Amino acid sequence: MDAKKALHAGKSTYVISTIDELNKFEKEIYMCTVLIVVGKDKNSGQNVSFVSHQYPGEFLNDKKKDFIDHLQQRLLEFKEKCEKETIEAVIVGGKDYKPLKTNDPMTEWYTESIKLLEGQVEHILKIKAKTVNGPKHNHEERPDLAIFETQKRKLYLIRPEVNK
């Protein structure tokens, strides 16, 4: 990922990659959610993609406006660059949070994150994003990994452990 051109609001908040033809690799998907968008470039005819990786505890609170602005910016750029009928979006979720106490706001963040991503994709791209996995629930589990082959439009989700 070209870190200089990626959109973000600082460490441990979110990062939105550039749009390009390269494969995407997201590691350490703990409580985070990941959005992958792919489509065919109008000029080159190649598939291009971008990925956003966000931590709900940060981007849904202090950085929410920044995140929405940045995500909308990237989605609008993507919509302009790609053939409409070729665009797809997929959401991958890491783990939900089992509260340590009642009324813990973290219990809602996972669901709110998915809904926000789905809503922005539908609003800008006029398509429904597919959520391909549900949350894990154990704090001790290893993180998920996501590998996306842009040209083949294939997503590989690696979940080393689940709900032991």
User: Residue ranges per domain, the chain?
Assistant: 7-158
The mean pLDDT of 21-36, rounded to a whole number, is: 89
Q: Pick the residue with more confidence: 44 or 137?
A: 44
Residue ranges with strand state E in the chain: 7-8, 14-16, 24-29, 33-40, 47-54, 88-93, 130-131, 144-149, 154-158
pTM for the structure as a whole: 0.89
CA separation for the pair 137, 156 (Å, rounded): 21
The answer to whether 124 touches 82, Cβ cutoff 8 Å, is no
CA separation for the pair 10, 47 (Å, rounded): 29
- Split at pLDDT 50, 70, 90, the class of 128 is very high
What length does the chain have? Answer: 164
CA separation for the pair 73, 58 (Å, rounded): 19
- Split at pLDDT 50, 70, 90, the class of 31 is confident
CATH architecture of the domain formed by 7-158: 2-Layer Sandwich (3.30)
Residue ranges with strand state E in 2-96: 7-8, 14-16, 24-29, 33-40, 47-54, 88-93
The answer to whether 146 touches 106, Cβ cutoff 8 Å, is no
Q: What pLDDT, in 10s, does the model give residues 33-83?
A: 899 999 999 999 999 999 999 988 888 888 999 999 999 999 999 999 999
